[in-house]
Amino acid sequence: MVSAIFILAIGLGAAFLLGLLRDTWRGLAYALTLAALAAMSWIAGSWLVALAGGLGPVEIRTAGFAPPFAIALRMGLPEAALSLLISLTGLLSAVYMRGTLMRLGRRAMAVLLIAVMALVGIVLTRDAFNLFVFLELTVIATGGLVLLSADPRALGAGFKYLVVAQVISILLLVGVIFAYHATGSLNIDDMAAANLVTLKGGAIAFFLMFVAVVAELKPFPANGWALDIYESAHPAFSAILSAALSAAALIAADKMLSIGGPEWLPVASSLGLVSFLGANILALAQDNDRRLLGYSSIGQVGLVLVVLGQRDILGASTPFIAGGLLLAHAVAKAGFYWLSGLVQGRSLMDWTALRGHPVLIFAFVTFVALLLGLPPFPGFYAKWGLVHALAADGRYLVLGLILLGSLIESGYLMRWFGYIIKRPQVDLPPLPSLSKRAVVLTAVAAGWALGWIWGEISGYPNLLLSIPLLFALGFLFIEWLPAWVKNLVAIAGLGAWFWYTFPGYDPLHLIYAAIILVGGAVILVASFDAKGRRVGFYPPAMLMYAGLSMLILAQDSFAFFAAWEYLTIGSYFLILRGKKSEPHALSYILFSLGGAFAILAGLALGAQGVLPFDVADLAKAPARLAPWIFALLAIGFMTKTAAIGLHIWLPGAHAEAETDVSPMVSGILLKAGLFGLTLLLMIMGKQSLYGIELTYVMLWIGALSALVGNLLAAFQEDAKRLLAYSSIGQMGYALFGLAMMNHLGWLMALMFVINHYIYKSMLFLSVGGVAKRTGTRDMYRMGGLITLMPLSFIAVLIGIIAVSGVPPLSGFGGRWIFYNAIMSSEYRLPMVLIFLSGPIAFLYLFRLIHTIFLGQLKDEHRKLKEAPLWLILPQMLYVAFLLGFAVVPGLALRHVDAYISEFFPAHALIWDDITITSTFGYWSPISIMVVVGCIFAVLFLWLLVLNHRAQKVKQFNIVYSAERPFRPETTHFAWNFFAPYRKALGFMTLPLVTRFWQAQTDLLHSTAQVSRRFYTGNGQTYAVHMLAFAVAVYLIWMGS
């Protein structure tokens, strides 16, 4: 194998060689540059392969002497990986900058080579002074490369950088010489072995070196200079700065920490946390893309520094975790900067240019997922390990701050993505350059490859290799097919997976599986209505279904959480597809990710470092932690069911989604939260925190959700929003049922699971069909559509009877079980709210059917047709199923009933042939149906006999104060339908929760707006920041 020192030698040599070439031979110079970078990459790559294959780290002694008499280099696995990263980034950036380099000639190329060489040198060297030299070389090279930019402001930025770099170099040099004085060696390992920090003057020497190296990480807040460079430099250089320089600086910091020993780890952690949180908060206020990415870089590097600072508990897994985060960051950020070079404007909105370029959008999504640590990327494995280690060791503050920072980070990245997809497109198309796009796509490929690698070495089954995920990803490759073909494939896939996994389900899981897979397939029937190719629909939809179907199969906590993330991401993209859904999709993903973090923290607390961790082992959680685990998980799951307080994302998200997406995210996706809650309660049972029983709290939350959801639904003018609020209420009922923790409560909850899927999917489809025809979702703009859209009307009619719980349809079964359940419950007071919310459902249901289908038909609607066949078809299936389920609920429920008896033996139902008997009462669905049917038929026949000649009269043939109205608008009583009710109970609909969350985000944003003034733009101020930072580090060190 070629010695690693040749990486440096080639870089240096080629740079010299470039100087010998004639300035006009630019093509040759460029080829030489590329060849050198490729050779460097190849050497680093071959080392990486060899080291990964089991070779131990290799020490390289220059000049043939052992340290301290000569400089030593070391090539170990981390060094090889980072060398490869750096030289590849350099190579790709060189390809990317072809035009600029050719214009500026060989000098620029030489500087680029020196930069890459110096960065690799920082990685490899084990000598403190040599580190200084390479750092200074980096500074000089950076100073040169900043000038590659076409942006005239880069000049100022470069100078500021040099000013700060001078300050840093003074600190470092003084530190190095005193460290040498104390230990007699410049070798880092010797310094560590001599225990530098305990020697006389050694501590202060180390402090100076440490501050200087950490300063290279551009720590918040002493980083104004770096941000200016990020903003103004050539994007390909920013890519090097963000990916390669950060990586090099981090490994330098790691070397320093190896000298500093355990007492400096907390300092590193604190600095990292401040950087991670501060940079992410300030990024919220940015509207320049590159500056925002710069902030994000600083935040990510801070996070890796935290990981390095936690090495005392991470131990041998430190490289895996730090590496996962660092590589994910590097690839994503380099990719982002390269992508930013394709975008012609610098505002975040200018990225709307990417729209219509699915490949670039996919690249963007990949980079965001890499940064946020979403599965299946390395950051996911890394965060998983990190959080578990922190939780096991009780470092809750660090854990909490990391999760908070991640949430803020996802806030601005997801918001940006929303802009790209939804904001008005700017008239600046992305640059057509093929080579630049190829570079971006290389980063994408590298990201996925890293995901695969991290999956392989994680010790878990590789997330990338699960069949449902591969199926979903497969849709990326058939995006060019027409929608109906993809739809067929999707339906077939869901059906096949159900068939394949069917034998493995117990009755409880079977219900969820049937809803997700079979139910999902039924909703997809409506998707046949879509025309064209429908690009961007199937991959996320199938990702959501993949997540859902993996969720119910998950045994260990890792698989469970990964599935949870999949379904969250998939549904986010789905929701975002709606016309006006940008803000709602954002609030959905933020609440969901917040909830996911709560789940992650809960699982980590439960696992206590034991991995892999079977979810069922949550039952064995230590009593001290159990209630906290329970609370965290419950909050996470309740975010998904939109329990009151965490519900504000739902109405917009469900209402603005596309016609066939609304039933998916309402009818199916909400069940994920219920599934989680079911598992949680089944495993952990009742828990008390400070003497308060948590299930009792959940009971109240469920009841309040039911009440507020129903009440708000009654006041909506928008039909889909009405249905969305109704979902909040329905989920409240289900939560209430589960929280009752008795047999019938659970049965009721599961009945709600089935019923809610059916009627909410059906109602969303019919209302969606109506909205499609009328062009509005405002109910007061509709009216009298019954004769034009009779099938939709029937679906809504059956739907509202079922929702309201009026016999003889299946909703009544839910109510009957509910009453039996509360009879055996020990709680009374929360029932009051449930009783109150029950009749309120009638308000919104009547409004829904009346203002759309009854009343006066509008003139502009006179020629409307029935909703499209593909939308009607699933509705009719649902109608048939609802009627069937109403008559024979036992088909599904008695198995579940028997299954629940394993957990709650008391109060099981008795399923005789036609009558269902509980401890308290009885219910005979078939008899009810027959009796009601007979009475109805007899009376109907009688009326027919009496009035068989009745003919339909014209619309305005009504008695109206002796006048005849001729305008439907004035006669259709629909707007503000429940005005008196608003007078009476409107105070309960004040948007207090929305205001609360709004205040939180406003607070963050104003903090960001105010604190960013700190970066005055003056280079001297930045230098003062740097010195102040050094003093602050000193104080932290003294304090710790």
| Window 48-67: residues binding other proteins (CB under 8 A) | none
Which of 22, 828, 863, 865 is in the footprint of other proteins by CB under 8 A?
A: 828
Cβ proximity to other proteins, 500 vs 973, nearer residue: 973
Least separation in angstroms between residue 847's CB and other proteins is: 8
Q: Which is nearer to other proteins, 224 or 769 (CB)?
A: 224
Closer to other proteins by CB, 155 or 193: give it: 155
Pair 355, 421: CB distance under 8 Å: yes
Within residues 254-273, the interface with other proteins by CB under 8 A covers none
Structure tokens of 411? 């806030």
Report d(CA 81, CA 787) in Å as an integer. 70
CA 121, CA 135: separation in Å to the nearest integer?
A: 9
- The answer to whether 271 touches 298, Cβ cutoff 8 Å, is no
842 binds other proteins (CB under 8 A): yes
**Which of the residues 706 through 745 are near other proteins (CB under 8 A)?**
none
When asked if residue 904 is in the footprint of other proteins (CB under 8 A), the reply is no
Residue 539 preceded by cis peptide, ω within 30: no
Cα–Cα distance between 478 and 487 in angstroms, integer? 11
638, 643, 648, 652 alpha-carbon torsion, rounded to 10°: 90
The 3-class SS string of 53-121 reads CCCCCEEEEHHHCCCCCCCEEEECHHHHHHHHHHHHHHHHHHHHCHHHHHHHCHHHHHHHHHHHHHHHH
Q: Which among 789, 733, 730 has a CA at the least distance from the CA of 765? A: 789
| 121 vs 138: CA distance, rounded Å | 10
Query: Which of these segments, 6-14, 887-895, 902-910, 933-941, binds other proteins (CB under 8 A)?
Result: 933-941
- Our finding on whether 159 is near other proteins (CB under 8 A) is yes
Q: Which of 673, 805, 874, 890 binds other proteins (CB under 8 A)?
A: 805
Q: Tell me how crowded residue 620 is: count the other CB atoms within 10 A of its CB.
A: 12
From the list 20, 63, 150, 959, which residue makes contact with other proteins (rule: CB under 8 A)? 959
| C-alpha distances out from residue 1031 to 147, 221, 308, 1018, Å | 32, 13, 22, 20
Non-local CB neighbours of 520 within 8 Å, separated by 6+ positions: 494, 545, 548, 664, 668
Give bridge partners of residue 614 from the DSSP assignment.
556
Q: Is 780 in the site for other proteins (CB under 8 A)?
A: no
Q: What is the 8-class DSSP label of residue 414?
A: H
Burial class (CB in 10 A: 0-12, 13-18, 19+), 739: buried
Structure tokens at 9: 């030698």
**Do 639 and 751 form a contact (C-beta atoms < 8 A)?**
no
Indicate whether 931 belongs to the interface with other proteins (CB under 8 A).
Answer: yes
Contact in structure between 777 and 861 (CB atoms under 8 Å) = no
* CA dihedral angle for residue 464, residue 467, residue 469, residue 471, rounded to 10 degrees: 130
Assess 186 for contact with other proteins (CB under 8 A). Answer: yes
Q: Kindly state the smallest distance separating residue 489's Cβ from other proteins, in Å.
A: 41
153 near other proteins, judged by CB under 8 A: yes
939 binds other proteins (CB under 8 A): yes
Residue that is written with structure tokens 């057509």 in the block:
432
Judged by CB under 8 A, does residue 981 bind other proteins?
yes
Verify binding: residue 987, other proteins, rule CB under 8 A.
no
How large is the greatest C-alpha to C-alpha distance in the chain, in angstroms?
115
Stretch that binds other proteins, among 117-125, 411-419, 655-663, 818-826 (CB under 8 A): 818-826
Distances (CA, A) of 999 to 191, 412, 642, 707, 846: 51, 17, 19, 24, 35
19 lies in the binding site for other proteins (CB under 8 A): no
Is there binding between residue 392 and other proteins (CB under 8 A)?
Answer: no
What does R_g of the chain's alpha carbons equal in angstroms? Answer: 32
Segment interacting with other proteins, rule: CB under 8 A, options 344-352, 566-574, 715-723, 972-980? 972-980
Is 946 among the residues that bind other proteins (CB under 8 A)? yes
Q: Taking CB under 8 A as the rule, does residue 407 contact other proteins?
A: no
Nearer residue to other proteins within complex by CB, 295 or 384: 295
Our finding on whether 280 is near other proteins (CB under 8 A) is no
Q: Give Cα 565 distance to the centre of its chain.
A: 7
- CB closer to other proteins out of 205 and 590: 205
Contact 718, 777 (CB under 8 A): yes
Binding residue for other proteins, selected from 9, 407, 514, 854, defined by CB under 8 A: 854
Q: In sequence order, what are the beta bridge partners of 72?
A: 61
Q: Considering only 16-24, 149-157, 270-278, 356-364, which stretch makes contact with other proteins by CB under 8 A?
A: 149-157
Least Å distance, CB 784 to other proteins, is 7
Q: Check residue 956 for interaction with other proteins (CB under 8 A).
A: yes
Among positions 212, 590, 751, 822, the unique one binding other proteins when judged by CB under 8 A: 822
Residue 457 sits in the site that holds other proteins (CB under 8 A): no
* Inter-residue contact 468 to 545 (CB < 8 Å): yes
Taking CB under 8 A as the rule, does residue 950 contact other proteins?
Answer: yes
SS (H, E, C) 308-330: HHCHHHHHHHHHHHHHHHHHHHH
> Is residue 951 close enough to count as binding other proteins by CB under 8 A?
yes
If binding is defined by CB under 8 A, does position 836 make contact with other proteins? yes
Q: Of 343-362, which residues contact other proteins (CB under 8 A)? A: none
Footprint of other proteins on residues 197-256 (CB under 8 A)? Answer: 224, 227-228, 231-232
Could you say whether residue 396 binds other proteins (CB under 8 A)?
no
How far lies 341's CA from each of 242, 335, 336, 684, in Å?
15, 10, 9, 52
Mark the segment that binds other proteins (CB under 8 A) among 148-156, 305-313, 455-463, 562-570.
Answer: 148-156
Q: How far is the CB of 925 from other proteins (least distance, A)?
A: 9
Residue with tokens 């399923």: 911
What mask, x for binding other proteins by CB under 8 A, covers residues 67 to 106? -x--------------------------------------
Of positions 144, 299, 324, 451, contacts other proteins by CB under 8 A: 144
Q: Which stretch binds other proteins (CB under 8 A): 49-57, 519-527, 614-622, 802-810?
A: 802-810
Query: Of 597 and 818, which CB lies nearer to other proteins in the complex structure?
Result: 818
H or E element at residue 150? none
Q: Residue from 6, 65, 936, 996 that binds other proteins (CB under 8 A)?
A: 936
Nearest residue (CB) to other proteins, 669 versus 849: 849
Min CB(875)–other proteins separation in Å: 18
Which is nearer to other proteins, 607 or 803 (by Cβ)? 803
**Binding status of residue 975 toward other proteins by CB under 8 A:** no
Counting contacts by CB under 8 A, is residue 410 touching other proteins?
A: no
- Tokens, residue 495: 């059906």
The amino acid at 1: M
Q: Is 823 in the site for other proteins (CB under 8 A)?
A: yes
928 binds other proteins (CB under 8 A): yes
Task: Kindly state whether residue 973 participates in binding other proteins, applying the rule CB under 8 A.
Answer: yes
| Residues forming beta bridges with residue 74, ordered by sequence position | 59
**Residue of 46, 169, 462, 688 that binds other proteins (CB under 8 A):** 169
